[in-house]
Amino acid sequence: MKKIFLIFIFILLFVVLYFIFFHKNPYRDKAAQMIMVGFDGIALTKNNPIYRDIKENHIGGVILFNYKGWDQNTTKNIKDFSQLKTLIQQLNQISQIPLFVAIDQEGGKVARLSPEFGVSTYSAWELGQKNDSNFTFDEAKKTAHVLKNLGINVNFAPCVDIVLNPKSIIRFKDRSFSENDPTLVATHAEQFIKAYQNNGILPVLKHFPGHGSATGDTHEGYVDITNEYQEIELEPYKILLPKYPNIGIMVAHVFNKNIDVSKPLSLSFQNVTKNLKEELNFQGIVFSDDLQMGALTKQHSWHDIVVEAINAGNDVLVIGNNLNYDPNIADKTLKIILKAIKDKEIDPERIDQAYQKIMKVKNLLKK
């Protein structure tokens, strides 16, 4: 009897080990590559959740911030050049696949790196007013060189919104090259694209299909642009996308019932897949805006945000983890995705599509 019991235990152990090592969910690592998350800390330690997220969960990327939330007196990830470079090296050393290391370094008021890093200090508005494309390229190159030397390979810039609404948060922070000229916007954005790509950095245009007509701030809550949005806001994308297929685009959380009657545009299949990917034939990576922004979290559950963002066509889920810090947010998000695949809420083919795009761009950035 004892012998039979031991044989049973041995078989059970074998089955468990076989399941662990040979039957791991085939979409787990692919789905993890779609997750980009923010974290706390200026140095990497093994007890930091980001260590587990990268080492064990194999997430695809991180996003860096200079201070926590809205408190400019605190330090999030960025102290000085040497510290930041070391931190990025530490993150990459524990990752099986090269990470997307992202930052919002537009210049002007939206800048995670201070002038001491050697980056350009000009805002998009100042560059647009100067309207010298060679000067814009030189300024973009300054920033690109700094990002490359630090190990940052994704910049959520340039902003190609057109400030049709003078009360727009985009205009308030001088984030647009122009208030009415899409050709000027495209001309100067192109200089950033060239400078970044020359230095192995992925430029990410934002905020598709346009945020310049919005009055409200999607960080804080629901923003409806139905009555203000104009088709001219698409023009910079129409000019640039045919020339630069391997770039990124960030989609906005604004609501426009003329595009989608029920969902914010970042969660809209019509906006992300039909309009951007199919109608404009965009072949690059679609990044969500920060999924923790109030425009989404005040209206939707985290499960619905994650599932709908993927089904809409977003390839990378950006989770700033800064407006509302959750040490386990990446792990929670991955579990939601895997369960949604199992429950047939997400088509596995959608995961495959995103994964292939991500790996293609990561391989290009290594060259």
pTM > 0.75: yes
3-state helix/strand/coil string of the chain: CHHHHHHHHHHHHHHHHHHHHHCCCCCHHHHHCCEEECCCCCCCCCCCHHHHHHHCCCCCEEECCCCECCECCCCCCCCCHHHHHHHHHHHHHCCCCCCEEEECEEECCEECCCHHHCCCCCCHHHHHHHCCHHHHHHHHHHHHHHHHHHCCCEECCCECCCCCCCCCHHHHCCCCCCCCCHHHHHHHHHHHHHHHHHCCCEEEEEEECCCCCCCCCCCCCCCECCCCCCHHHHHHHHHHCCCCCCCEEEECCCECCCCCCCCCHHHCHHHHHHHHHHHCCCCCEEEECCCCCHHHHCCCCHHHHHHHHHHHCCCEEEECCCCCCCCCHHHHHHHHHHHHHHCCCCCHHHHHHHHHHHHHHHHHHHC
Q: What is the CA radius of gyration of the chain?
A: 21
In angstroms, the CA 297 to CA 4 distance is 55
| Domain annotation for the chain: domains and CATH numbers | 33-366 (3.20.20.300)
pLDDT by residue, tens only, the chain of 367 residues: 555 544 555 554 544 444 444 346 789 999 999 999 999 999 999 999 999 999 999 999 999 999 999 999 999 999 999 999 999 999 999 999 999 999 999 999 999 999 999 999 999 999 999 999 999 999 999 999 999 999 999 999 999 999 888 777 777 679 999 999 999 999 999 999 999 999 999 999 999 999 888 876 678 777 889 999 999 999 999 999 999 999 999 999 999 999 999 999 999 999 999 999 999 999 999 999 999 998 899 999 999 999 999 999 999 999 999 999 999 999 999 999 999 999 999 999 999 999 999 999 999 897 6
